[in-house]
Structure 1
Amino acid sequence: MSSTTTLQKAGDPAGNPGQGQPSDGLKAGLKNRHLSMIAIGGVIGAGLFVGSGGGIAKAGPAILISYALVGAMVVFVMRMLGEMAAASPNSGSFSAYADRALGRWAGFSIGWLYWFFWVVVLAVEATAGAAILENWIPAVPQWAWALIVMAVLTVTNLGSVASYGEFEFWFAGIKVVAIGAFVVIGMLAVFGVLPGSDNPGAGFAHLTDAGGFFPNGYGAVLTGVLMVVFSFMGSEIVTLAAGESENPRKAVTQATNSVIWRIGVFYLGSIFVVLTLLPWNDKSITEKGSYVAALDSIGIANAGTIMEVIVLTAVLSCLNSGLYTASRMAFSLGERGDAPKAFAKVNAKGVPVAAILGSTVFGFVAVYFNYAFKDTVFNFLLNSSGAIALFVWLVICFTQLRMRGILVREAPEKLTVKMWLFPWLTWATAALITFVIGYMFVDDANREVVSLSTLVAGLVVAVGVVLDFRRKRAAVQG
């Protein structure tokens, strides 16, 4: 296959991706405001609200460095992905690009692994949301709430891509407003100008007054990296959604260019506020959660309830996007012949019904496992999908290294977004991701996760290689 054909393979017969209706049957139902909010909200997951307290307890104020390292890694990966997506928007995103740049086995493998990751996330988030809802309305059992939220968001996704976009617009909007308000109110309290604040201890001194900036040693920064890296998963969703937008190229370019300030404000900004309002070793950070503890410290009434509402919103947003992402990846795999052909079919509204239902069914099964076999089957599913985010980012690095050459030779005018300091920064990012994966093998808390994830990834890659070999042999014989 020639490079020109390679570039046009992603649903761009005219060689001009990014304009008008998608040529793969999907409808351009997402408006620019939808894409903008998906891009902004995509980096704000429930893990930021729920899991940050554990990272602070392990690394102290140095968790800021952990967040900065992972944030930089995500910024670089998004820049690489943005380069490829701006040149050729596609519902399969990095899976489709890996298919073209590295081989069918690579696109098959990373596509199915990413799908697997998100359908497991569906069960995790549905259960987390159900726990909050059961606390509010105990008459309905938790398992029923989990099924209800899954069913509602499945119906939403089956309606049209515009329905998904509208729900996500408001879900993400609430998250963005909440984090923005938290940062502003918190900083006012830190500088002592918040009316009615009763936290006389707030200030920058908390960054060093409880054992220094590195109270648990420099190695705790790496431990912090392992604890926070998974809360960043989701930033790449906008590149999948761009294929169903009014102007994919513009949407991808804007999302890529804004990722730096999004991570800076929402992650580093909010964690900085927590660390300056309270000493890092304050027990309330782990007992109540970092954000609730920070709000309590400045006298915000009903902080726990407020945060429950925000976390529920984040959970529903993650569920909504997770189902959308899994279904579009299944659709792309089906379109390329790497999944059942039914997954590649769309209805009159341009919705891949079979791909959505297929993803939902596995999600429902995972929810069942979470209640019936939590410590066995579901624990295996959870651990075996845990490191897939890092595998995806690593594949994006190697894909971009190859795709740049193809684009330069065949369509240089499509390089509207370029990776900085290519190829050195791409190689450096790949090395950092590889180091993090390697460090997980020697870390007691993460060894099982990375081992099982590597095992599952190895099995999927093996299947992909065998299928690719059979296709090539059949082509030669035919």
Structure 2
Amino acid sequence: MSQTTNDHTLQLKRVLTLKDLVIYGIAFMTPIAPAYIYGFAAESTNGMLPLAYLIAMVAMMFSAYSYGRMAAVFPNGGSTYTYTQRAINPHLGFFAGWAMFMDYVLVPLIVFMVGASYANALIPSVPYWVWVLLIAGIITTVNILGIGIAAKTNQILVMFMGIVVVIFVVFCVKTIVGGESGTSLFTVVPFFNDEKFVMSAIISGSAMACFSFLGFDSITTLSEEAVNPKDDIWKAAILACLIGGLIFIGQAYVAQLVWPDVTNFSSADTALFDIAEKAGGAVLATLYTVAIIVSTVTAGLTGQASASRLMFSMGRDEVLSKKFFTHLHPKYQTPVYNILLMCVISVLGALFLSINFVAELMNFGGLTGFMFVNLSVIVYYFFRKKEMKIIRYLLIPGLGFGICFYLFINLSPMTLKIGFIWLAIGFIYAFITTKGFKKKPTTFTDL
């Protein structure tokens, strides 16, 4: 490979353990993620959101498995981009990375917006735009100082959110046992209520719940900074999905029992705050609000770090400007230009775009990336390597692809339109820079 010597100087520090990687993935998803969708999702599933989360967890673990299989054989940065590039086709890899880039760019953008909105609601005297700049400054500074610092910060913040979730569950259990909700602590109703069960509603709710898991894939962008990437990346992806899913299911379960009438929230957008207030009063509701703000910091740290690493990998392969995107900070060895670029994009987006618009676009990029990775497992292992293990390399990734494709085609027409425009821009850029797709990325010139 012609870039062996040059790439030797473009390496990131290996400092992340399995625990760091799992926490990183959970931090991206955020333990308190149900707060974002609970009201609408609980109503759409007729009070069976725990079942929807269970189905979503199983569905996402198919894709997590595929990410793990590809990370085991290609333990270097780039995630979706790298796997598709090396398993299927270098040019198709660019489009996979281009689509996923949309998702990674939008994650820190939307968390800036959500964090600033909740912070402004908590302290109205500080304007929204000030909160945006403050959150952006903290996240960007931590990421420039290094992934090791970001990992330690995430551990502290995830621990705090975990404590809040535990407190929330304890108060909910106390309310249930105390008889205030008029139901038993142990019941199958949140998973199956034969009087209200509608399959189409459960499927719709499961599709919605899947988006709480977006972010586990970010673990694979840190392969070059993992101490033992071949063993730890795939384990971390699956563990993050499993642990995150159980946390989501637990919160949804007790919340449903505390507030059985899912059509009677003061606002669907703040349903869990109503439940927190009922279970623990204003103090618990305020604590939950603070945890939501903290969750935006953890997701912002991981989102910004993942996007900057993806750009680093694409720059090293010269599908993006190598001089700019592979520049590392002389002291901290972090892709500082990429991090600052992400900061600027996120701040501008947070000031001028709407949360709903950004959230829908995230789904396009995330699901597209998941489909590419599932397809990469099938192509690489089953067809190229001729490893005829039907369950491992055909059935599981095939199910992962099918589920993601089903969710993808059910995105809103506007989301699909804008998403395909984004891909068209990528196509034009790639066509020009590769001279009609005749020039391969530098990494592949000698293959």
Q: Same fold (TM over 0.5)?
A: yes
Measured on the aligned residues, the alpha-carbon RMSD in Å equals 3.4
Q: Which residue of 2 aligns with 1:82?
A: 68
* Contact 1:83–1:419 under 8 Å retained in 2: no
Q: Which residue of 2 aligns with 1:240?
A: 221
Deviation at 1:89, TM superposition (A): 1.7
Q: Does 1:49 align with 2:35?
A: yes
Aligned pairs for 1:226-265 (under 5 A) are: 226-259=207-240, 261-265=242-246
Instruction: Find 2:415's aligned residue among 449, 452, 456.
Output: 449
Give the Cα separation in 1 of the matches to 2:96 and 2:439. Answer: 23
Q: Which residue of 2 aligns with 1:347?
A: 329
Query: Any unmatched runs of 5+ in structure 1?
Result: 14-21, 413-417, 441-445
Aligned pairs for 1:389-428 (under 5 A) are: 389-405=366-382, 408=385, 421-428=392-399
Deviation at 1:201, TM superposition (A): 1.1
* Contact 1:54–1:286 under 8 Å retained in 2: no
Aligned pairs for 1:95-114 (under 5 A) are: 95-114=81-100
Q: Which residue of 2 aligns with 1:67?
A: 53
Deviation at 1:407, TM superposition (A): 8.1
Give the Cα separation in 1 of the matches to 2:4 and 2:96. Answer: 16
Pick closer, same or farther for the CA change 1:42–1:407 going to 2, 3 Å.
farther
* Contact 2:18–2:236 under 8 Å retained in 1: no
Q: Which residue of 2 aligns with 1:360?
A: 343
Cα deviation digits, residues 290-334 of structure 1 (max 9, x gap) = 433333333455222011011011111111111111111111110
Give the Cα separation in 2 of the matches to 1:385 and 1:284. Answer: 27
Q: Which residue of 2 aligns with 1:320?
A: 301
Q: Which residue of 2 aligns with 1:431?
A: 402
User: What fraction of aligned residue pairs are identical, expressed as a percent?
Assistant: 18
Letter in 1 for 2:288: M
Letter in 2 for 1:115: F
Q: Which residue of 2 aligns with 1:470?
A: 436
Pick closer, same or farther for the CA change 1:291–1:227 going to 2, 3 Å.
same
Pick closer, same or farther for the CA change 1:260–1:457 going to 2, 3 Å.
same
Q: Which residue of 2 aligns with 1:202?
A: 183
* Contact 2:181–2:259 under 8 Å retained in 1: no
Worse-superposed segment, 101-110 or 334-343: 101-110
Aligned pairs for 1:276-355 (under 5 A) are: 276-284=257-265, 286-287=267-268, 289-341=270-322, 342-348=324-330, 349-355=332-338
Give the Cα separation in 1 of the matches to 2:60 and 2:422. Answer: 24
Query: Any unmatched runs of 5+ in structure 2?
Result: 442-447
Give the Cα separation in 1 of the matches to 2:131 and 2:313. Answer: 31
Cα deviation digits, residues 43-93 of structure 1 (max 9, x gap) = 326642221211001112333332222211210111111111123322211
Give the Cα separation in 2 of the matches to 1:270 and 1:379. Answer: 24
Q: Which residue of 2 aligns with 1:116?
A: 102
Cα deviation digits, residues 96-138 of structure 1 (max 9, x gap) = 1111112222221222222222322322211221122223333
Deviation at 1:383, TM superposition (A): 4.2
Q: Does 1:30 align with 2:30?
A: no
Q: Which residue of 2 aligns with 1:219?
A: 200
Cα deviation digits, residues 228-281 of structure 1 (max 9, x gap) = 222211111122223212222342243145245314421222211212222142
Give the Cα separation in 2 of the matches to 1:214 and 1:170. Answer: 43
Cα deviation digits, residues 375-418 of structure 1 (max 9, x gap) = xxx87665444422111111111111122248847xx9xxxxx9
Letter in 1 for 2:96: I
Letter in 1 for 2:340: L
* Contact 2:120–2:127 under 8 Å retained in 1: yes
* Contact 1:394–1:434 under 8 Å retained in 2: yes
Pick closer, same or farther for the CA change 1:379–1:439 going to 2, 3 Å.
closer
Pick closer, same or farther for the CA change 1:11–1:71 going to 2, 3 Å.
farther
DSSP 3-state at the match of 1:284: coil
Deviation at 1:204, TM superposition (A): 6.0
Give the Cα separation in 2 of the matches to 1:447 and 1:333. Answer: 30
Pick closer, same or farther for the CA change 1:35–1:23 going to 2, 3 Å.
farther
Give the Cα separation in 2 of the matches to 1:233 and 1:118. Answer: 10
Give the Cα separation in 1 of the matches to 2:63 and 2:333. Answer: 30
Deviation at 1:157, TM superposition (A): 0.9
Cα deviation digits, residues 427-453 of structure 1 (max 9, x gap) = 12212221222233xxxxx33223322
Aligned pairs for 1:123-272 (under 5 A) are: 123-187=109-173, 189-190=175-176, 192=177, 197=178, 199-203=180-184, 208=189, 212-213=193-194, 215=196, 217-259=198-240, 261-272=242-253
Letter in 1 for 2:275: A
Letter in 2 for 1:347: H
DSSP 3-state at the match of 1:203: coil
Cα deviation digits, residues 163-196 of structure 1 (max 9, x gap) = 2112111122222333344345544554x2xxxx
